[in-house]
Amino acid sequence: MPRYCRLLLLFVGLGVTASVLAGGFDAADARNSIARPADHCAGGELESGSEICAQWAAVKAARESTRIAWIAMYGNLAALAGLLATLLATAWAARAANKAAVAAEKAIEIAERTAKQQLRAYVSLLGFKMLLHRDAEQNIVEGEIVAHWRNAGQTPAFKVDNMVNWGSFDGEIPDDFRFPPFDNRDVFGTPTLGPDIRLASGSPPVSPSEMAAVSGKAKRMYVWATADYVDAFGAGRRTEASAEVEIKAPLSSEGDFSFKVLRRFNGMDDSCMYPPEPGKPPALP
């Protein structure tokens, strides 16, 4: 049972108890009035006792005042109970309205968050590709690893700043490797990347000897890339990607390259190794 109902029943019970007690007093007064001098005073039988009759009249007046006072008290109790019921009902309605307002606010927050997630920009990596540069005799002069980006969201990405870098190792990439950007790097950036618009950015050059070492299994090569941007709602975003570069021997064309995605340094926003820094290159570790 709600608290306000229990309080209302308590006040009603108090009123009923007071009524019963008052009724008992009235009955006792009625019994005591039997064979009182008032009966004789009414008939004029006690002419010499006029003073007693006057006193008895005063008693009757006092009793009448008491009865009227009890009636007024009953009315006040009833009014108080009604006022309490009104206050409790108003408090209950206010509480219900507050709960409804809180629920509506939460629903708006969820709808707004959902809308942002659905409409925001998502700059993701489509993949890596090796571009081979040749001389006039079609000899391979150098290679360039190109990262292909795409905004898969429904709104533009602003202040786009992306980077590609690579490194070669004697074995697997070290566990404490921090995937740094290269010094004096060329940042392939554009102010805005609209929905479904693609962007390509290249790495520092890869020499034929370095590619030969990888194809001959003497070295292992890894590539990593980042894209920092600001979405249409003003939030900083970041995408990280990395892969191992595999080269078939003998090297002859771009088709001899493949890229095996790594678990490390692959994520978006909060799952990135580095926090998002829109419009700024990742800090060197």
Give pLDDT tens digits for 98-145.
988 898 888 888 888 788 888 999 999 999 999 999 999 999 999 999
Does residue 145 or residue 51 have the better pLDDT? 145
CATH number at residue 229: 2.60.40.10
Is there a single domain that holds both residue 106 and residue 223?
no
What is the pLDDT, as a whole number, of residue 112?
A: 80
Domain boundary among 118, 135, 170: 118
In a domain, 277, yes or no: no
Q: Is the pLDDT of residue 5 over 80?
A: no
**pTM, 2 dp:** 0.63
In a domain, 69, yes or no: yes
Helix/strand/coil (H/E/C) assignment for every residue in the chain: CCHHHHHHHHHHHHHHHHHHHHHHHHHHHHHHCCCCHHHHHHHCCCHHHHHHHHHHHHHHHHHHHHHHHHHHHHHHHHHHHHHHHHHHHHHHHHHHHHHHHHHHHHHHHHHHHHHHHHHCCCEEEEEEEEEEEECCCCCEEEEEEEEEEEECCCCCEEEEEEEEEEEEECCCCCCCCCCCCCCCCCCEEEEEECCCCEEEEECCCECHHHHHHHHCCCCEEEEEEEEEEECCCCCEEEEEEEEEEEECCCCCCHHHEEEEECCCCCEEHHHCCCCCCCCCCCCCC
What is the pLDDT, as a whole number, of residue 184?
A: 47
Q: Place 29 in a pLDDT band, splitting at 50, 70 and 90.
A: low
Is there a single domain that holds both residue 163 and residue 51?
no
Q: Place 283 in a pLDDT band, splitting at 50, 70 and 90.
A: very low
Can you give the residue range of the structural domain that contains 236? 123-271
Is there a single domain that holds both residue 94 and residue 145?
no
Q: Place 154 in a pLDDT band, splitting at 50, 70 and 90.
A: very high
Is there a single domain that holds both residue 135 and residue 48?
no
Is there a single domain that holds both residue 102 and residue 176?
no
Tell me how many domains the chain contains. 2
What is the pLDDT, as a whole number, of residue 3?
A: 58
Q: Place 46 in a pLDDT band, splitting at 50, 70 and 90.
A: very low
Does residue 168 or residue 52 have the better pLDDT? 168
Is there a single domain that holds both residue 151 and residue 26?
no
What is the pLDDT, as a whole number, of residue 113?
A: 79
Domain boundary among 81, 100, 118: 118
Does residue 120 or residue 84 have the better pLDDT? 120
In a domain, 285, yes or no: no
